[in-house]
Structure 1
């Protein structure tokens, strides 16, 4: 299996990365505000017939009555905090793309992870746009091309913004692996547009 480290010029088609979308001070202030003020949840998930809590905390934000969950467990939908609603509006204007929902992941240290997956659910539509803003500790995002299993590593810095669009979710999976020596936390803000249907079950 081939591996390579990525800088913005080396990313596959459908991925774009800006390392300093937010200043260091704004990133730090926003991290501590969200850490303290969001309502964090830890739903159970069933994998290979085993059920247990996911290895991170989450908060799902939307103004619509969507249901969001894993394997028969659902997250409570929270309203938009003013600071995140303002960020959403700036991103929508910059990308010319509607974004009506936000999944926030809180990685408490390097033992918290995200497994291999694609954001390709039918509720996200054809060629979805996923916008990921990182705050706090630097973590490695792995991108795996489905056709070749080639893996690209991208270091997500605090204050950075990764946009995944086009055929990125059709052609690639992504994951946040363990970094057991890392003691510091990270928060990721993943904005997306969910079709206006009664239930969004991922």
Structure 2
């Protein structure tokens, strides 16, 4: 598969973007969207102040603990169901809410909920999946911020032999859109040599029911 990558450099670090023109999807990566000091402060504060939980999901008919800790957060109506479990949102943490506003202003997209995942080291991971739950709508626009240890992030097409891998650095912002959740799967694989923690925030939008 041929992938076209475009980089735009300006004096503003938030404007340095890599564009991946994939079949059936669009990915944009800002490698240094957050300044290093803000990324580190965000990681340390949220690790200590949020109510992290190692939730269980249903896999092959049985309850299994996920290999990471997570928090589901957002507006009160943003209930979220995946892998047979319904999650009710925790109220906004002020730091996360401000970050959601900043991301929304930057991308000119609305976000009203976020899934935060905390990985203690490279042994903790997330398997192949797509963020295609019905609550997110037909073609969700996902914005993902990573802080902490750099980790490899992988994509594969659902019906064709196309794959892509990238490294997500601390402070990076990745957007997934234009059919990505319908036609591609993504994962955070194990990396046994990584001993540092990583925190990821994936911002989404769920419409309120009438």
The TM-score, its normalising length taken from structure 1, stands at: 0.88
Tell whether the 8 Å contact from 1:44 to 1:70 is kept in structure 2 after alignment: no
Q: Does 2:78 align with 1:88?
A: no
Whole-angstrom distance in 2 between the partners of 1:153 and 1:99: 26
Paired residue for 1:108, among 120, 123, 126? Answer: 120
After TM superposition, list the pairs within 5 Å mapping 1:1-202 onto structure 2.
8-10=18-20, 12=22, 13-197=25-209
Which residues of structure 2 form unaligned runs of 5+? 7-17
Whole-angstrom distance in 2 between the partners of 1:11 and 1:114: 24
Q: What whole-Å deviation, never above 9, does each CA across 1:150-193 have from its counterpart, x for those lacking one?
A: 22111000000000111111111100011112111100010000
Tell whether the 8 Å contact from 1:43 to 1:74 is kept in structure 2 after alignment: no
What is the CA distance between 1:132 and its match in structure 2? 0.3
| CA RMSD, Structure 1 to Structure 2 (Å) | 2.2
Count how many residue pairs are aligned between Structure 1 and Structure 2: 196
Q: What whole-Å deviation, never above 9, does each CA across 1:109-166 have from its counterpart, x for those lacking one?
A: 1111111111112211122110000000011110111121322111000000000111
Whole-angstrom distance in 2 between the partners of 1:23 and 1:128: 27
Q: CA 1:120 to 1:71, structure 2 compared with 1: closer, same or farther past 3 Å?
A: closer
What's the secondary structure of 1:78's corresponding residue? coil
Q: Bigger shift: 59-68 or 14-23?
A: 59-68
Q: Which has the higher contact order (CA 8 A, sep 6+)?
A: 1
Q: Bigger shift: 144-153 or 111-120?
A: 144-153
Which residues of structure 1 form unaligned runs of 5+? none
Match for residue 15 of structure 2?
Answer: none
The TM-score, its normalising length taken from structure 2, stands at: 0.85
Q: Tell me which stretches of 4 or more aligned residues in structure 1 moved more than 6 Å.
A: none
